[in-house]
Each structure stands twice: as C-alpha cells, then as structure tokens.
Amino acid sequence: MKELLNQILQKIKPSEEERNLVERVKGEVESIAKEIIATFDYDVEPYFVGSLAKDTYLAGDHDIDLFLAFPPDIPLEELREKGLELAKTIGENLERHEVAYAEHPYVRAFYKGFKVDLVPCYNVRDWREVRTAVDRSILHTKWVLKHLNGKNDEVRLLKRFFKGINVYGSEIYVKGFSGYLTELLIIKYSSFLKVLENHDFMFRQKIIDLEGWLKKEPEVAMKTVKREVDTDVPLIVIDPVDPRRNVASALSWERFGIFYFKAKQFLENPSREFFFPEQKQMGDYKRTLREKGTKLVTLLFEKPDLIDDLLLPQLEKSAKGFMKALELRGFRVFEAHWGYKNKAFIMLEVDRTEKPRVEIKPGPEFFTERGLRFYLKNRKVWIRGKRLYSEKVVEDSIVDVIRELLEKNQVSLGKQVKEHIMQADILINFVPPELSDEAYLFLSREKWNLKG
C-alpha cells in the first residue's frame, strides 16, 4: 500500500520546477494587481485563495484565484460596480480576460498559460461580517493553512482519488466533494487512508464539527444541523469559519454512495486504477438495445452558448421533465442521460415507442343508412340518445407525444435551453457517430457501474 501511494504521489505532486513556475507567475500577477489597486481610491487588499494558496494543488492543475478584498462598510452595489471595474482593469493588463458571473460579476483572465480568476469580495474578519458567498474564501484559506499541519500530500491523494472515482467538485452538475471539503476531511482524520477507513463511521456519525461550533454557538450551529437533517443530506460538516453553513451541502447521496463503495473496494484491493481509471471498453449500443429489448429516444439540438455551470443543470431539469411527462402519458422511462458533444442531447431509455390508446368514435344516428354502415363496420357499438358510438384502438407514437408535450408546454424544461429543445431532432434507436459511445455507456449502465 505504502509503495502504491508513493508512486501515485510522485505522479500528482508538483515538481520543484513547476512550483517555481507557479510562484513566479503568482508573483507577477500580484505585482500587476497591486500596481492597479494603487491607482484606485479604495483600500483593497489582494489575497490568493484556493489550492494554490494552500499548497494542495495537483501537478498540472494550478488555476490562480486572486480575491480583491474591499472594506466591509462599502455598499454591496458599490462593491459589485467598483470591484468589477478593478478586476477588468487588472485583466486588461494580463493577456486576455472575460467577465463571468456567479453571485456577482467577476473577471476570468489568462496569463502565461494560467487561468486567473479575479473576484471582488469583502475583507471580513469573521462569519458575522460575511455578506456574500465568496467572502468566506479568504477565511477558509487562513483556517486551512493554520490547521493542515503538513498534511498537504494527504490532501493531494484524497483529491486525486475523488477525481479518479468521479466524485470531485461541488458544482451543481457534479454534486460531489469540493476541494475545501477534501482538506477538512484530511484535517479531521489526518490521512488519506484514515478517511477511507472511516467511510462507514462518517456516514453513521453524520456531523463533523472541527471548530466546536455546537459548543461555542449552539443555537446557530443546531439551526444549521436541523436544516440539513431536514434536507436529508448524507453528511454535515459545519464550516469551521461559519456555523451557519454545511460545507458538504452540495454533496449528493449518489456521489457519497460511490465514495462509500469505492473506499471499501480500495481498502480490500488497492490499485492505481482508482486514481487513474482506464478508459472504459466500448460496445455496440444497437446490440445492447436488442439484448435489453428496450428503446432509445434521443433529442438532439443546438448547444446553447452557456458555461457548464448553467447548461448542465438545465439539461438535467429538462431530461427529468421529459421522464415525468412521458410517464404520465403511459410510457415507462427507465433512465435518462444528458450532455453535449457537437450538439446538446437528452437520451431516454423507454419500454416502447408506440402505445395503444382507446379512442371513442361518435357515429351517425342509428336509423340512417350511414348508421347501418357504422354498425356493420365497427366491433363494439352502442347507442347514446339517437347516435351510435364505438371505440377504436390507435397507436400513440412517442415522437408525436413529445411534439405535443412541447407544443402544449406540458413538460418542465430549463428556461435557457427551452427554445433549443423546441427545435430538437427526435431520433429513435439511433444516434450520430459522435454519440455512439455515450449511448453505449448509458444503455449498458457502464457510465455509472460501481463495479466497473
């Protein structure tokens, strides 16, 4: 085990040459920022945050996060306006930049091959002064630096393990373990192996309170615990810098479950594959369909010009909307998948693409010639008043049903993808070549197979 972990560390730990490059570029960015800040009328302090500032970054993965901390007494609107102005000016003095959006606008710049996020925030001293979500980042960095006690490589191992089993990232479309949560788990359990060994205890214990907020601020901390318990999250890690926040609030049961099983598997049979999984073997999705006896419906449409943080949650919402709407119309939907390659797509595995439906057919008055023909032509006939009625079985095509659902606005879609989905091509048991692997992984469940 020790030899394996040393081999992994050699691969994921930045070399001295890479460290020197990172520090040199950070220094240049900081100098540029300070020169620009000096020309502004605000007492702004630049802080490096994130994995680079805490020395928990992986080799080859070194984005720079520079937070521009404004005095807490500045109004929020002024922070947003002046902060963006300052960030843009710094970005203009790097190589290129663009405005991005989270709770408030920030600037994403690029410099000497590094991505540099320039984020305005408040320079807060503790949790009581926090006014925006990003204000805690500086406090996070300071707390981790104070408590990590040289366990940086243990963080690297756990982070790479999380990446290898595809549970890393707190983004809404990932719902996994954030970098900060990874660091806190190492601080709590002291090593990569101890985190894995405590995977079951962690689940049963449920609450991790590293700063002792349940004793220091019991009312606030218990309110956080109650809220998260009511939400039914798998893990509660009370933020060491803010008792109002659960660091693991983004973690889904699915991602925690993957970690739960993979931790057991690794401890029983440690392997490099957990950190660097081999590419899955592909198969023929059409053959898989024939073997399963199910059908594949794919909606294919132009990819909206949105970042993943916005696009993927909207595709997820739309896919789940189709699942619910089609179930209500009598089709059984086994599973859904969404994403994008050249185009955006939503895949649905269904039991059938045609569904019989009984339709009541009104006929003419029974005492007419047309009434007689109607009587002879139909199998079931009855009279209501003077008129004849019958029923016939018609086949509902899933394509027609989807079109009808869209036209009548009877399916819940993401707002920013709705217009594109309305124009989607609907493919049955066929996908373009660039999606054949996605279709196979989806239909075979290899995309999510815990034993794969």
Q: What is the CATH number of the domain that holds 363?
A: 3.30.70.590
The Cα–Cα gap between 400 and 354 comes to 10
Task: Please report which confidence band the pLDDT of residue 255 belongs to, taking 50, 70 and 90 as the band edges.
Answer: very high
The Cα–Cα gap between 180 and 241 comes to 12
Task: Please report which confidence band the pLDDT of residue 103 belongs to, taking 50, 70 and 90 as the band edges.
Answer: low
Nearest to 117 by CA among 91, 144, 145: 91
The verdict on 50 and 174 lying in the same domain is: no
Residue 143 is assigned to a structural domain of this protein = no
Mean pLDDT value across residues 89-95: 92
Going by the DSSP 8-state scheme, the letter that residue 132 receives in this structure is: S
pLDDT at 19 over 90: yes
Tell me, what CATH number does 80's domain have? 3.30.460.10
The Cα–Cα gap between 142 and 154 comes to 19
CB 95 within 8 A of CB 109: yes
The verdict on 40 and 115 lying in the same domain is: yes
Q: What percent of the chain lies above the pLDDT cut of 90?
A: 81
Structural domains in the chain (count): 3
Residue 11 is assigned to a structural domain of this protein = yes
The verdict on 298 and 357 lying in the same domain is: yes
Task: Please report which confidence band the pLDDT of residue 177 belongs to, taking 50, 70 and 90 as the band edges.
Answer: very high
CB 176 within 8 A of CB 235: no
Residue 139 is assigned to a structural domain of this protein = no
Paired residues of 111 in beta bridges: 114
pLDDT at 392 over 90: no
Query: Which residue has tokens 């279709």?
Result: 439
pLDDT at 203 over 80: no
Task: Please report which confidence band the pLDDT of residue 102 belongs to, taking 50, 70 and 90 as the band edges.
Answer: low
Which residues form the domain of 354? 281-452
The distance between the two most distant Cα atoms of the chain, rounded to a whole number of Å, is: 98
Nearest to 275 by CA among 286, 266, 284, 267: 266
The verdict on 160 and 108 lying in the same domain is: no
The Cα–Cα gap between 64 and 51 comes to 9
Lowest mean pLDDT among 13-22, 199-208, 244-253, 321-330: 199-208
Residue type, 133: A
The verdict on 220 and 297 lying in the same domain is: no
Residue type, 91: G
pLDDT at 64 over 90: yes
Domain boundary among 273, 294, 311: 273
Domain boundary among 273, 299, 316: 273
The backbone torsions φ and ψ at residue 158, rounded to the nearest 5 degrees and listed phi first, read -70, -40
Mean pLDDT value across residues 116-136: 94
CB 285 within 8 A of CB 443: yes
Domain boundary among 103, 134, 165: 134
